[in-house]
Structure 1
C-alpha cells in the first residue's frame, strides 16, 4: 500500500495548468497516482513505498510551478552526541511530507523543511518526541503560498499605476477638444514614445509572471493561459515597438500603436486573477472555520497544579480542566463536574448537551456553565475535529467524473485555440480590408485572450469546495467529492431499519391501566423489572426514571425466559409477561386482548401486568422511530427518490414499520452478510443506489452502494466505509444532503455551460466572423476583460451555494411522531 500525501502548489491558474502538473507528477519516479485540484492549489498523491520526495518536487518545478514548502525550527532538549542527531533526523525524514531535516548539536536545534499542506509543526514535534526527545517551536517560516495574494496585489498596483495614464494618453488623442491640444503639444511619435515608457514596466515587471509561466508552457509544448496572455500582450507590445522604430516596414496605415492594448490586457487579467484569489479563498472558508474551533492551549494538571500548555504538547491520559465559557481543547472522558456543552459544531444541534462523569467530550465544543475535569483520550490528528477537517479537505480535493472530462477537454482546447488564432491571422491578412495587417493582428490577439480556459478549470472544484463546506456547517460530511455530485443522481435509497430509522433500543410506547393510577403502577412495574437485564426491562426502568418516579425495593424476583417475571414490590405480587404467562397464571386478559392484537399489528411487543393475580395493565414496548424520520422520508419522496427499507426482522414486523413510514418496498429477514448482495441486486436493476446505515455489519453494504451514507452516531467502521457521514441521527439531515447535492450539481452544470458556452460563442466573434455582416471586431482589451469576467462569474456562481437554505437547518418536530413516553398515541 502506497503513502497518501498532499502537496500544495503555487502558480496554477487554469485547467491546462492542472493537466500539465498532473502529467508531470504521473511521470515522476515513485508516483503511483496524482490528482490536481485548481481551486485548492493542491495535488493529492499516492507514492510507492520508500519513494523519495525530491523527484516529485523537481517534476512540479520543471513544469513551471512551485511546491509549497514551509520551514520550522525546534529547540530540542536532551541531545548529547552524534547518535542523537542521527536518531532525530531519521525520525523526521521517515515522516511522509518531510523534505529535509538538519540537526545542529551545538545549538540544540533542528531545522525541518516540510510540505505545509501535508504536515503541521505539531506532527513534527510528535516525531521528535517518539525519538525520545522533548522540543518546542522556536520559529516557523510561513509557506511560500502565503505570499501569493500579496504578490498579485503588488503586481496589480504597479500595473494600474502605469496603465491608467497610458490609457488616458492613448484615448485622449481621439477626444474632441483634447486631441488637437495634445497633437499641438507633441507629435504622434512623441506620444508613442511616452506610451512605450509607461507600458514597459507593466509588460515586463507587473506581467513577469506571464512570461515565466508562458515560456515554461511553450518549452513543454503544452500552451496554457500564461502562454496565451504572453503571446497576446507581447504581440501588441512588439508590433507597436516595431511600428515606432521602423514604420517603413509596414504597409501604409498599419504602423499604429497598440501599447495601450498590451498594458490594459495585463492589468485586466491581473485584476481578474486577484479577484479569483480572493474568491477562491472564500470557497475554503469552511475549513478555516473548522480550524478556528481548535483551542490553542489546554489547562493541564501536572505535578499538582494547573498549567496552560499548547494542545500539541498534551499527551493521552493527562487530566485537563475546562472552565465555564471555554472551548474544550481535546477529546476525552469527564472525570469530575457537570455542565452543559454546546456541540453544535459536531451535530448541528443548537441545544446544549448535559455532561457528567463518564460522558464523552469532543475537542472544539464549548463548555457553557459548570467546570469540568476530563481525561484526554485522543490528541492531534486522532481527534474528532481533526478527522472532520481531513474528511472535508479530502472531499474538496476529490475529482468527480465531470471534472475529469473537463480536464481532458482543456488539454486539447488551448492548442486548438492557438491554431484558430493563427488561421484567423492568415485569413485576415489574405482576405481582409486595408489595412489587412492591423485587422489580422487584432483578431489573432483577441482569439488568444478569449481562449484562456480559467473558467473551465474553476467550474467544478469551486462548487465542490463550497458545497462540502456548506454541508459541514449543517452536519453533513462528504468524504468524497464524487459523492457530492452523485448523491443528487441517486434513484433509490435503501435504509437500514435498526439505528437508522429507529432509535436502536426498546422504549415504552403504550401503558393502558385497567384500574388505578398510571404512574403508581409504572413505578411498581419498573421496580420489579429493575432486577432484570433484559432490554425490555431496561426500557421500562428508563421510562419510569424519565418521569421522575421513585422505585420501591423489590424482593423475591423470579424470571421465566419466554414467559415473564415475578417479584414482590411494596407488599404486592407483580407478574409481568406475555399472554401465555397470564393464561398459565389464570389471569383473565380478555378486556385487553383486542388492544394487544392491534399493538402487535403495529410492530409493538404487548405485555400484561397482573397485581396480586388480577389484570392491572397492558404495556407495549417497541424500537421507536427516530424523531423526524417520517418527515425526512416525505422530503426525499418529494425529490423523486424511491425508498426501500432493509431489516433483519421478520416480514410482519418490518412491514408494519414500513407502513408507518410510508415505504412500499421492504427487504426483510436479511442477514448481516446478505446486505451488500441485496444492494448489488438493486443495482442490477439499473438503479443508482444509496445505502444508509450505522452498524459494523452495514460496512459492506455502504461500500457496495453507489453512495454509502453512514449515521455519524454509529460505529467508526461504518463511518470509514461511507462516502457521506451524517453527524447526527436526525434523518432530516439526509434530505438536506440530497438537496445540497442537487443544488451543487446544478451549479457545476451552470458553470460549465457558461465556461464552455462563453469560449465557443466568443472565439468566432474574436476571429471576426461577424465583421462582414455587422462590422464588429472584438478589441483585445475587451477580450481580456471578458476572459476575466468569465472566471469571476463562475466563482460567484459557486459562492451562491453558501446562501442555500437547507431544510434541515431548523428541524421542527414532526406532529406525527410519538410524544411523551407512555403515550398511547401511535408512532406514525
Structure 2
C-alpha cells in the first residue's frame, strides 16, 4: 500500500436534460459513480446531479460521462445566470410541449371517438383513422422513440422505451389488420369494450388498435405536460428568492445621485433605499427610519421598524421613508444568498426512502420488458387468439410506471423546503427533515435563544401620585443618555422607542456619575437621579423590586427632586414568542431542556417563566456536549438550539443541530436547521412540517408501488385495455406531484397556548 493523503474532494452541480423517470436517474448515477472516486446524487424533480469528485476529475469529464449515458448535460455558468432568461427558456419549452400536445389531441380525439362509438363508424372510417393515427404514432410520439433509441444505443431501457414499444406494437398490429387481416374492407364495424374480449375480431376480422396507438402518446404527453408544470410549482419558493435580488442600486456622491450595478458595492459603502424599493444587500441603517417588510426573506409576518443602528437584510422591502444604509455584506456572504444556497442544497439531497425507490426503479423497466414478453408467450402458448396476446403485452408495457417512484420524494422535498424557507426555517437536506420527524428532546440555550440576548427594560413601576411611566422614562433617559453603562443604554433605547420619535430627549445639565451607585443630573430644572436601590420603598415599588429579584433582573430607582417616583427593572428579557414555542414543542411530544452558561438564578427564572422543568446552569461548551451525549445514551433523539460559538460543539454532537439565524457563522455552519427569524417560534412549525412532509412522501410511495402492484397483474391477465392503461399511467404521476404540491400551502396550526398560571390551574 502506498502512502500519501487522500485526494481532496469537491462538489459540482450538473444540469441533466432528458430524464423522464427514476430509471433515468439510476442510469445517470451509475454512469457517474463509475468514475474513480466519484459519488453522485441525481434529483429527477430538479434535473440536477450533485457530484462529489476528486479534484483530478474535472467537471467536463463529468459532463462527458452523463452524455455517454445518453442524456444532455451542462455546467451552470454563474456569469450567464439570468432569472429572466431562464423564465424565457422555460416558456419556450412550455409552448413547444403545448403545441405538440394540441396537435396530437386534434388528431387523436376523432380516432378515439370513432373507435369507441360503433354508431359513428361510417363507410371506410378505419382508413380515415389510419391517416390521422399515422402522424401521431410517428411525429407525436417521436420524443419517446428518440429517447428509447438513445437508450438502446447505450444498452439501457427507461419509461420511454415502454411507451415507444407500446405505440409501435399497437400501430404495427393495426397496419397488419388493415392490410392483411381483413379490417380494411369497406363497411367494417368494430365494437368497443373496456375489457379486451380475447376474441380475434368480428367474423374473423382482426381488431384495430389505432385508438391505443394514439391514446398512449396523447395521455402520456398530457400527463407529462401537467407533471412538468406541477413540478415547476414545487420550486416556486426558490425562484421567488432568486427574484429578490437587486441589479442596480442608488448611491450618492455628495449631492449627486447615480445608479450603479450591485456588483460594484463593497463593504462599507452606503446606498439609498426609497419607499417601495428592495434593500440591495445586507447593511445597517445610518440615516432615516422606516418600516421594513422582511416576510419573503425571514418569514416575519409583520414589517419591523428600522432606524439608525438597526440591521436590514437584502431583499427586504422598504415600506416607509427614505433610508441610507451602510453595506455589511455583499454577494455570497449576504443572508439572502445564504438562504438561497441552503434551500438549493436541501432540494438537491435525497432521503433514504428515495434511494430505495431509485434502486427498485433501476431494475423496474427490464423486469417489465421481461413480463411483457412472458405475457405474450404465455397467451400464445395457452392457445389464445393473437390479438388478445398482443393486447395484454401492450397493456403491460404501457401501464408500468416508474415515473411516480422517481417523483414521490423529490417533489415533496422541494415543496417542503420551499415552504419552510417562507416560514423562516432552512434545512440542510432530507436527513434534517427526517431528524426533525423523530425528535423527542430539545436542548435550549438561554441567552440569545430564549431571551433577547441584550439588556432591555422589562418593567416600569411608578408611585400612584407621581409622574406617569412615559414622563419617568423621559427624565431617566435624559440623564442616562450621557452614561456608557449597559443599564443606561437600555433605558435610553427603551425611552426612544416608547416616544416613537415624537419628541427628542431633554438636555441634561450638571451631569455626574458615581461608580457602582448611578447617575445624577438636572433636567428641565428638576434634579433627576437613577441609582441602585438603597432605601426603603413604598409598597408598589417594593413589590416591583421583589418581582425583579425573583426574575433575576436588575432594578434601579428613579428619584426626582429627592423623592423616589419609580423602579425600573432591566434584564435580558424572554423573547415574546418563547413561551408559546416551548408550549407547542411540549404538545408535540418534545421534551425541553434548558442548558446555559449563565448563573443559576437567571436560568431558573427563565425556566420558570417558560415552564421548563430541567435546567442545567453554568454549563461550559464541554458540559453542554456531555449533556447531549448523556441524553443520547438514554435512547433519546436530541436536538440542540443555540446561537453562539460556545454552542457549536453541542450542535455538531446532537442528532440535529438547530442554529438561530442571527447567530454566529460557526453555529450556523455546525447546524442542520437554521431558524431565520429572531426567536424559536418557528421550531415547532419545523417539527410539524417535517412530519407532514414525511407522511406525504409515504403516501406517494405507497401509491407509486401499489399502483404497479395492482395494474401490472391486471394487464397481464388481459383485464386492462392499452388506452386505459396509458391514461392510468399518466394519472399516477400527476397524482403524486399534486399530492406533494399541497405542502406549498401548508399552514402552521396556531394551537392554544396556556400561561404558567393557567397550566397550574388545569394541572398541565
> C-alpha root-mean-square deviation of aligned residues, in Å?
3.6
Structure 2 CA distance for partners of 1:779 and 1:286, relative to 1, 3 Å = same
Match of 1:121 in 2: 80
Give yes or no for contact 1:696–1:715 (8 Å, CA) kept in 2. Answer: yes
Structure 2 CA distance for partners of 1:339 and 1:58, relative to 1, 3 Å = same
Give yes or no for contact 2:251–2:258 (8 Å, CA) kept in 1. Answer: yes
Structure 2 CA distance for partners of 1:381 and 1:574, relative to 1, 3 Å = closer
Q: Is residue 469 from structure 1 mapped to residue 418 from structure 2 by the alignment?
A: yes
Match of 1:128 in 2: none
Q: Is residue 237 from structure 1 mapped to residue 171 from structure 2 by the alignment?
A: yes
Deviation for aligned residue 1:262 = 1.6
- Aligned with residue 59 of structure 1, among 47, 61, 65: 65
Structure 2 CA distance for partners of 1:691 and 1:322, relative to 1, 3 Å = same
Deviation for aligned residue 1:200 = 2.6
Deviation for aligned residue 1:226 = 1.0
Deviation for aligned residue 1:713 = 2.2
Q: Is residue 755 from structure 1 mapped to residue 704 from structure 2 by the alignment?
A: yes
Name whichever of 270-279 and 700-709 sits farther off: 700-709
Give yes or no for contact 1:575–1:611 (8 Å, CA) kept in 2. Answer: no
Match of 1:558 in 2: 514
Match of 1:782 in 2: 724
C-alpha distance in 1, partners of 2:432/2:244? 26
Match of 1:744 in 2: 693
| TM-score for the superposition, normalised by structure 1 | 0.79
Give yes or no for contact 2:200–2:207 (8 Å, CA) kept in 1. Answer: no
Q: Is residue 408 from structure 1 mapped to residue 363 from structure 2 by the alignment?
A: no
* SS of residue paired to 1:793: helix
Deviation for aligned residue 1:644 = 1.4
* SS of residue paired to 2:15: strand
Structure 2 CA distance for partners of 1:795 and 1:778, relative to 1, 3 Å = same
Deviation for aligned residue 1:205 = 1.6
Match of 2:108 in 1: 163
Deviation for aligned residue 1:509 = 3.0
Q: Is residue 343 from structure 1 mapped to residue 277 from structure 2 by the alignment?
A: no
Name whichever of 422-431 and 641-650 sits farther off: 422-431
- Give CA-to-partner distance per residue, 1:205-240, whole Å, 9 cap, x none: 221221222233344444221111122222222233
Deviation for aligned residue 1:625 = 0.9
Match of 1:36 in 2: 42
Give yes or no for contact 1:300–1:306 (8 Å, CA) kept in 2. Answer: yes
Match of 2:221 in 1: 270
Deviation for aligned residue 1:596 = 5.0
Matches within 5 A, 1:710-721: 710-721=659-670
- Give CA-to-partner distance per residue, 1:14-45, whole Å, 9 cap, x none: 1111111111122246x633211111111122
* SS of residue paired to 1:60: helix
Match of 2:387 in 1: 438
Aligned residue pairs: how many?
Answer: 723
Match of 1:127 in 2: none
Give yes or no for contact 1:494–1:691 (8 Å, CA) kept in 2. Answer: yes
- Give CA-to-partner distance per residue, 1:103-139, whole Å, 9 cap, x none: xxxxxxxxxxxx25xx24279xxxxxxxxxxxxxxx9
Matches within 5 A, 1:417-432: 417-431=368-382
C-alpha distance in 2, partners of 1:788/1:258? 19
Give yes or no for contact 1:528–1:554 (8 Å, CA) kept in 2. Answer: no
List alignment gaps of at least 5 residues for structure 2: 1-7, 183-198, 500-504, 758-764
- Aligned with residue 577 of structure 1, among 516, 532, 550: 532
* SS of residue paired to 2:409: helix
Name whichever of 704-713 and 503-512 sits farther off: 503-512
Name whichever of 148-157 and 285-294 sits farther off: 148-157
C-alpha distance in 2, partners of 1:349/1:144? 33
Deviation for aligned residue 1:401 = 1.8
- Give CA-to-partner distance per residue, 1:80-102, whole Å, 9 cap, x none: xxxxxxxxxxxxxxxxx4xxxxx
- Aligned with residue 662 of structure 1, among 611, 621, 631: 611
Match of 2:438 in 1: 489
C-alpha distance in 2, partners of 1:510/1:140? 55
Structure 2 CA distance for partners of 1:58 and 1:626, relative to 1, 3 Å = same
Match of 2:649 in 1: 700
Match of 1:794 in 2: 736
Deviation for aligned residue 1:251 = 8.5
- Aligned with residue 210 of structure 1, among 126, 144, 147: 144
C-alpha distance in 1, partners of 2:557/2:431? 53
C-alpha distance in 2, partners of 1:648/1:221? 62
C-alpha distance in 1, partners of 2:606/2:324? 43
Match of 2:762 in 1: none
C-alpha distance in 1, partners of 2:558/2:281? 48
List alignment gaps of at least 5 residues for structure 1: 69-96, 98-114, 124-138, 772-776, 819-828
| TM-score for the superposition, normalised by structure 2 | 0.85
Match of 2:249 in 1: 298
C-alpha distance in 2, partners of 1:612/1:703? 56
* SS of residue paired to 1:410: helix
C-alpha distance in 1, partners of 2:247/2:528? 60
Match of 2:344 in 1: 393
C-alpha distance in 2, partners of 1:282/1:324? 30
Point out which structure has higher relative CO (alpha carbons under 8 A, 6+ apart).
2
Deviation for aligned residue 1:384 = 2.6
C-alpha distance in 1, partners of 2:600/2:12? 48
Deviation for aligned residue 1:265 = 0.7
- Aligned with residue 687 of structure 1, among 628, 632, 636: 636
Give yes or no for contact 2:298–2:422 (8 Å, CA) kept in 1. Answer: no
Give yes or no for contact 1:689–1:707 (8 Å, CA) kept in 2. Answer: yes
Q: Is residue 803 from structure 1 mapped to residue 745 from structure 2 by the alignment?
A: yes
C-alpha distance in 2, partners of 1:291/1:477? 15
Deviation for aligned residue 1:660 = 1.7
C-alpha distance in 1, partners of 2:244/2:86? 23
Structure 2 CA distance for partners of 1:619 and 1:382, relative to 1, 3 Å = closer
